Amino acid sequence: MLMRRQDAGLLVVDIQDKLLPAVHDAAGLLARSLWLTGVARDHELPIVFSEQYPKGLGGTAAELREAAPQALTVDKLHFSCVDADCLPTALTEKKQIIVCGMEAHVCVLQTVLGLLARGKQVFVVADAISSRKPQDIELAIARMRAAGAVIVSREMVLFELLEKSGGEHFKQMSQRYLLGEQP
């Protein structure tokens, strides 16, 4: 199955100020998540930022909020966004949910499993998730794949949402996201 612009939304799980420095390759995760958020914004996908206990862990990284000022932000205490029942209709009405964020083996994993249980097609962006330990990322990816999530890269997201080359939109997206050094 391919991701389709009209069917998809982006869920950015818990990339928060106080927790971000603790994860593996924090700067890379933030850069790659910014790239992905920009792709979703430029394709006019609904974007949702979740925050795990923001009072204690801080809010979503400012760079992400600035990259997608129209995004909705939801807070939760459950690790799973689904169990927290916090996801807005703008996202839940979509049949395809693209997921990135942290921690891969906790909030991302539990949210993905919940979305799958609700019949969603879930695409986990492997190069835009992280945890404190690399082994936990690997285990989370294996478990999400086994449960039915589709594991993708950021460029897969970009090209599947584009669908074809040519035209002004393709040219703009290519210049913005493919030229020069990418995160």
pLDDT tens per residue across span 62-75: 999 999 999 999 99
| Rounded-to-integer distance, Cα 156 and Cα 70, Å | 24
Asked whether 75 and 139 are in contact (CB, 8 A), the reply is: no
Determine phi and psi for 75, rounding to 5 degrees.
-115, 160
Q: In this structure, what token pair is assigned to residue 93?
A: 């009405």
Using pLDDT thresholds of 50, 70 and 90, give the confidence band for residue 131: very high
**Mean pLDDT, the chain, whole residue set:** 96
Q: Quick one: 5-177 is in which CATH superfamily?
A: Isochorismatase-like (3.40.50.850)
pTM of the model: 0.97
| Rounded-to-integer distance, Cα 143 and Cα 149, Å | 9
| Rounded-to-integer distance, Cα 61 and Cα 159, Å | 26
Higher pLDDT, 130 or 180: 130
- Can you tell me the mean pLDDT for 144-159? 97
pLDDT at 181 over 90: no
| Rounded-to-integer distance, Cα 143 and Cα 85, Å | 23
Residues 6 or more apart whose Cβ sits within 8 Å of residue 33: 12, 15, 64, 100, 101, 128
pLDDT tens per residue across span 39-50: 999 999 999 999
| Rounded-to-integer distance, Cα 70 and Cα 65, Å | 8
Tokens 């909030």 locate to 107
Residues 6 or more apart whose Cβ sits within 8 Å of residue 135: none
